[in-house]
A and B are shown apart, each in its own frame.
Chain A
Amino acid sequence: MRDPEIRPGIRRLFRLVARRDFRDEADDEIRLHLQLRTDQLMHRGFSPDAARQEAERLFGRLNEERTRMRNTTRRRESRLRFRDWLESVGQDVRYAVRTLRRDAGFTLFALLIISFGIGATTTMFSLVNGVLLQPLPFHDASRLVWISNTGDDGIGEWQFQVGNFVDLAARSGTLDGIEGYDASYSSLGRTTLSIGGESERLTRVPVTCHFFPFLGVTPMLGRSFAPEECVADGPRGVLLSYDLWRRDYASDHNVIGRKITINGTPVSVIGVMPESFDFGSIFAPGTKVDMYSNFLLTDQNEGRGNTLTAIGRLKPGASIAAGRTEAAAIGKQLGAQYPRRNAARPKMIPFDEHIHGSVRPALVVLACAVFAVMLIVSANLSSLQLARMSARQREMAVRLALGAANGRLIRQALTESFVLTAGGALLGLSFAYAGTRLLSRLAAFNIPLLDRVGVDGSALAFVAVLTVVTGLLIGVLPALNAPSDVRTGLREGARGSTRSAGHTRIRAALVVSEIAVACMLLVGTSLLIRSFIRLLDVELGFRPERVAALRIDPARTLPDPAASNAYYGEVLRRVRGLPGITQAAVADMLPFSGDRSWSVPGEGQVYEHGAPEAFIRVVSESYFKTMGIPMRAGRDFTDGDSPQSPPVAAVNQTLAQALWPGRDPIGQAIIQGKTRVVVVALVGDVRHSALEHAFTGELYLPIQQFNDHSQVNLIVDTDLPPSQLTSSVRNAIAPIAGELPKTQWRTLQELIDRVASPRRFVVLLLSGFAIFALVLAALGIYALVSYGVSQRTQEIGIRMALGASAKELVSNVMGRTLQLAAIGIVLGIGGSVILARSLRGLLFGVTASDPVSFLAPFLLLVVVAGAGGYFPARRASRIDPSTALREG
């Protein structure tokens, strides 16, 4: 007996002949057995009844056995059925692959656009999932609230003074605790770590004592701050970031307890934060934080003004509304009780809104855009598949005639689109991997939690779902249009039949919807592009083009103000002599890179709601000239404004307007602490934190008189690219500054680009999507018209034979094409009006009904549709009537 295994084909044949209920199968087998046994016994002389009884006895436990056999049969049946199914799916897949191979051009095109669509969609999903959907990596993150201090007008985001912070925490009944960090940025980059003889400039963030336990972040090594480290005279400890620990301490586990020297003071390393904790990515996107020290709630820090950014946690059951009301009331109490303090006007929002609020609308727009792109991809392929099905009607009819079930044909049509989608998904997945890697490393973009973005399990699940849905979207129309019986199938294989006319109508509808969706994408994109252009055109208040900055903080802490003044004076003297440098100045902070603020009361003024707040800038003489900030009145600071001379200041127009509306600010005085400071200059307003924000008050203090500043930037106005200045400046100031940390030049343009980056990010991606959509819509039109022309070859031949001119034919085809495009565009413009309204929050400097943003896509689509129709039309006009008639 060779061939012992029954071949699946044979098995299926059997089952097709006698497919019966599994219960019958088991029963049949038993019945036959009993009958044969009974016959045998009767043959041996048993009476029929006795024979029957004996047969059943010999069989033993008949009922039990029957049930068991039924179960076995059922299991076997379903196993077989599943195997058959798998096998037929395999057949369909092989058939689809064969068919697709024959049509390599179409297949390649389909794979490309599906993979692009799925790649983009998955990248977007990962982005939204990582940045918006996944919970923040903190304990009980949903109850965390962000508490900022607002200006008198309720806008602006300031920090809290230490006293206000402490009192807010003590008096709140709705919060379970408030912690904070020093957001005055006075420490960012100011920390100098000395190891051996070398020094390194690091970024250190001072956080309040229980900041880490409060957030539920546990150090990977060591511990967080201990109570004795939280008092004024206690020992000092720092926690290292994972990266610093790996880089500078070679991941040494014995680093805990080691004394290191920071800014010349010895402190102990008490812990190392885990790799997963990235302060910068959440609180200050784009900043790498190297270590955390503890911020003491002392009088000395109170004197530094508004420094603390507060994060609270609502008690269980407490609503944010209750928290808000209470915090506002406490703010008022504090204002009345401590008139000398800076004002506290707490504004409370959910923490995750603070983190995501600025990026959410943009990401939602991008997600919708990518969804639209996916729809266009599906519509496009669905239409192409329909065309291919029309061409294959005859083949399908033949297969029906040969016995293929109608359902099977539908399934095969679906399988083909699933095979395409699955292939595209595999390719798309690699795009998504590349895309997310690229995104997560774009440090230049100011988006919180961007580093969490990657293709993970949920992204894979998303791709799986997306593949199935896309496969259905693409395949369902072609599948439903598979011929249902032989006769109609064969008849419809002929050209110009009703069914293929139906196909063309469906395809036209698909193309119209492609155009409509593309139109909406284009309008949305133009609105945002125009907003972006307006944003870049915004009045900055300074001239960024030629200005670059370099950190030049002295390597050692200088002993007294006189010594630092001498240092700044000498640096400027040396730098100004260098070729290529036209102006030079020193300042503590640059625009768009950190702020500190405090209240600036005018002399003799009483305020109902606290004095106006202003951002503080500590600058040298020539700063305004170097930056190109216009001097409206008064004089620049000079070397004569020394520690010994009367304190002076400059105010910007906004602050002057707030303090002395309608009066000349020059010669007026403000009170800083107990010091009377005379205003000697009125300067133009400068953008500070964001390009979109209105101007705020600014107070400039001369660096010679005001020694409390966190960093020192050399600012130069130069004709040369900054990189060419590096060595000359370094050499020039090396004798006095010592070894400068390896900080790079930053141009002010870079700083502006950075704050504009989230918008640029959105505009870039959106433009990419819109262009892709446009191309697809164009191809959709082209394919439709082209197909139409090839179907009508005969008809066109007849018309030409009857004397129609080429021109008439072209205009005929073009007319139909533009008619389709017009329907699509009208629908699209209608949708765009609604879309534009929902985009309002993202617009800047343009209205939702900006005519240019509507007109440009309109014209573009008309041109593209025209082009999509023109080429097939021209081909039609060149049809040779005699050939067309012969071949038709």
Chain B
Amino acid sequence: MSTTLPLVKGTLDVLVLKALSWTPMHGFEITQWLEARSGGALGVRDSALYQALARLEERGFVAAEWGVTANNQRARYYKLVKAGRAHLTAETTQWVRYADTVTTILTSAAGPA
């Protein structure tokens, strides 16, 4: 998997929140969503995902409940709650500003400030 990008620390949580902002999903669905959206470029271990989910649940950003999949299998569905939505918005704004700033610096010509 040498082609995958290593994940910047802390970004997985935000990505999961983003995934859930559309609809409640179970764990595997989230991995599928991430793979699809990143074109498989992000290397996320499944266990890391579940750790992130536990973390988010603990902090009160997502809530979980048992539900049934389309194929009638019992699955634990995660759902974004109000606090999580607010957190996602804040984190997104910050990430965009950060990325913009770094990008601007890295792509401009080198020289004295």
- 8 Å CB interface, A17-41 against B: 18, 25, 28-30, 32-33, 36-37
Complex Cα distance, B28 from A32, in Å, reads 8
Are B46's CB and A58's CB within 8 A? Answer: yes
Are B79's CB and A4's CB within 8 A? Answer: yes
Are A4's CB and B85's CB within 8 A? Answer: yes
Are B79's CB and A37's CB within 8 A? Answer: no
Indicate which residue in A18, A29, A36, A60 contacts B48 across the interface (CB closer than 8 Å). A60
**Residues of B contacting A68 with CB < 8 Å?**
51, 54
Chain A residue at smallest Cβ distance from B45: A60
CB distance from A61 to the nearest CB of B (A): 6
Known: A1-B80, A4-B81. A37 touches B66 (CB 8 A): no
**Residues of B contacting A14 with CB < 8 Å?**
65-66
Indicate which residue in B45, B46, B58 contacts A37 across the interface (CB closer than 8 Å). B46
- 8 Å CB interface, A55-71 against B: 58-62, 64-65, 68-69
Complex Cα distance, B74 from A28, in Å, reads 8
B63 within 8 A of A: yes
B7 within 8 A of A: no
Chain A residue at smallest Cβ distance from B82: A4
Are B79's CB and A6's CB within 8 A? Answer: yes
Are B63's CB and A60's CB within 8 A? Answer: no
**Residues of B contacting A65 with CB < 8 Å?**
47, 50-51
Are B54's CB and A33's CB within 8 A? Answer: no
Complex Cα distance, B78 from A6, in Å, reads 11
Known: A1-B80, A5-B81. A60 touches B46 (CB 8 A): yes
Are B28's CB and A4's CB within 8 A? Answer: no
Chain A residue at smallest Cβ distance from B81: A4
Known: A5-B81, A58-B45, A60-B47. A37 touches B65 (CB 8 A): no
Are A59's CB and B46's CB within 8 A? Answer: yes
**Best-surrounded residue of A4, A62, A64, A76 (most CB of chain B within 10 A):** A4
Chain A residue at smallest Cβ distance from B54: A72
**Residues of A contacting B28 with CB < 8 Å?**
32-33, 36-37
- 8 Å CB interface, B4-49 against A: 21, 23, 26-28, 31, 45-48
A392 within 8 A of B: no
A81 within 8 A of B: no
A399 within 8 A of B: no
Complex Cα distance, B72 from A54, in Å, reads 25
A573 within 8 A of B: no
Are A59's CB and B47's CB within 8 A? Answer: yes
A11 within 8 A of B: yes
- 8 Å CB interface, A546-602 against B: none
Are A29's CB and B27's CB within 8 A? Answer: yes
**Residues of B contacting A59 with CB < 8 Å?**
45-47
Chain A residue at smallest Cβ distance from B85: A4
B73 within 8 A of A: yes
**Residues of B contacting A18 with CB < 8 Å?**
66, 74
Are A33's CB and B82's CB within 8 A? Answer: no
Complex Cα distance, B53 from A68, in Å, reads 12
Are A29's CB and B76's CB within 8 A? Answer: yes
Are A5's CB and B63's CB within 8 A? Answer: yes
CB distance from A72 to the nearest CB of B (A): 5
Chain A residue at smallest Cβ distance from B35: A40
CB distance from B13 to the nearest CB of A (A): 15
- 8 Å CB interface, A519-549 against B: none
Complex Cα distance, B21 from A703, in Å, reads 105
Complex Cα distance, B106 from A180, in Å, reads 91
Are A6's CB and B63's CB within 8 A? Answer: yes
Indicate which residue in B57, B69, B74 contacts A76 across the interface (CB closer than 8 Å). B57
For the complex, count residues of B whose C-beta is within 8 A of A.
29
B75 within 8 A of A: yes
Chain B residue at smallest Cβ distance from A37: B28
Complex Cα distance, B23 from A275, in Å, reads 70
- Chain A 771-813, CB within 8 Å of chain B: the 1/0 string? 0000000000000000000000000000000000000000000
Complex Cα distance, B45 from A29, in Å, reads 16
Complex Cα distance, B53 from A65, in Å, reads 12
Complex Cα distance, B79 from A65, in Å, reads 22
Are A6's CB and B65's CB within 8 A? Answer: yes
Are A69's CB and B65's CB within 8 A? Answer: no
Are B74's CB and A69's CB within 8 A? Answer: no
- 8 Å CB interface, A326-377 against B: none
Chain B residue at smallest Cβ distance from A1: B80
Complex Cα distance, B55 from A68, in Å, reads 12
Complex Cα distance, B43 from A60, in Å, reads 12
CB distance from B74 to the nearest CB of A (A): 6
Known: A32-B26, A33-B46. A5 touches B65 (CB 8 A): no
Complex Cα distance, B46 from A32, in Å, reads 12
Chain A residue at smallest Cβ distance from B62: A4
**Residues of B contacting A37 with CB < 8 Å?**
28, 31, 46
**Residues of A contacting B79 with CB < 8 Å?**
1, 4, 6
CB distance from B62 to the nearest CB of A (A): 9
Complex Cα distance, B14 from A93, in Å, reads 42
Complex Cα distance, B70 from A219, in Å, reads 84
Chain A residue at smallest Cβ distance from B29: A36
CB distance from B99 to the nearest CB of A (A): 27
CB distance from A7 to the nearest CB of B (A): 10
**Residues of A contacting B23 with CB < 8 Å?**
1
Are B47's CB and A61's CB within 8 A? Answer: yes
Complex Cα distance, B31 from A191, in Å, reads 94
Chain B residue at smallest Cβ distance from A72: B54
Complex Cα distance, B73 from A98, in Å, reads 44
Chain B residue at smallest Cβ distance from A6: B63
**Residues of A contacting B82 with CB < 8 Å?**
4-5
Complex Cα distance, B1 from A58, in Å, reads 11
CB distance from B108 to the nearest CB of A (A): 39
Complex Cα distance, B52 from A72, in Å, reads 12
Complex Cα distance, B31 from A76, in Å, reads 23
**Residues of A contacting B31 with CB < 8 Å?**
37
Complex Cα distance, B69 from A330, in Å, reads 98
Are A32's CB and B75's CB within 8 A? Answer: yes
- 8 Å CB interface, A75-96 against B: 76
Complex Cα distance, B51 from A68, in Å, reads 9
- Chain A 103-145, CB within 8 Å of chain B: the 1/0 string? 0000000000000000000000000000000000000000000
Complex Cα distance, B46 from A58, in Å, reads 6
Complex Cα distance, B73 from A76, in Å, reads 22
**Residues of A contacting B73 with CB < 8 Å?**
32
CB distance from B63 to the nearest CB of A (A): 5
Complex Cα distance, B28 from A835, in Å, reads 77
Complex Cα distance, B81 from A11, in Å, reads 14
Chain A residue at smallest Cβ distance from B58: A72
Chain B residue at smallest Cβ distance from A5: B81
Chain A residue at smallest Cβ distance from B46: A59
Complex Cα distance, B104 from A208, in Å, reads 90
Complex Cα distance, B35 from A339, in Å, reads 113
Indicate which residue in A5, A10, A32, A58 contacts B74 across the interface (CB closer than 8 Å). A32
Chain A residue at smallest Cβ distance from B1: A58
Complex Cα distance, B46 from A64, in Å, reads 13
CB distance from A15 to the nearest CB of B (A): 9
Complex Cα distance, B32 from A19, in Å, reads 29
Are A4's CB and B80's CB within 8 A? Answer: yes
- Chain A 197-227, CB within 8 Å of chain B: the 1/0 string? 0000000000000000000000000000000
Complex Cα distance, B26 from A37, in Å, reads 13
**Residues of A contacting B54 with CB < 8 Å?**
68-69, 72
**Residues of B contacting A62 with CB < 8 Å?**
47
**Residues of A contacting B75 with CB < 8 Å?**
29, 32
**Residues of B contacting A33 with CB < 8 Å?**
27-28, 46, 50
**Residues of B contacting A64 with CB < 8 Å?**
47
5 A-B pairs within 8 Å (CB atoms) are namely A4-B79, A4-B82, A10-B65, A32-B73, A32-B75
A4-B84, A4-B85, A37-B46 known; 4 new pairs, CB 8 Å cut-off, are A14-B66, A29-B75, A59-B45, A65-B47
Nearest 9 A-B pairs (CB), nearest first? A4-B81, A59-B46, A60-B45, A65-B47, A36-B28, A60-B47, A4-B82, A72-B54, A33-B28
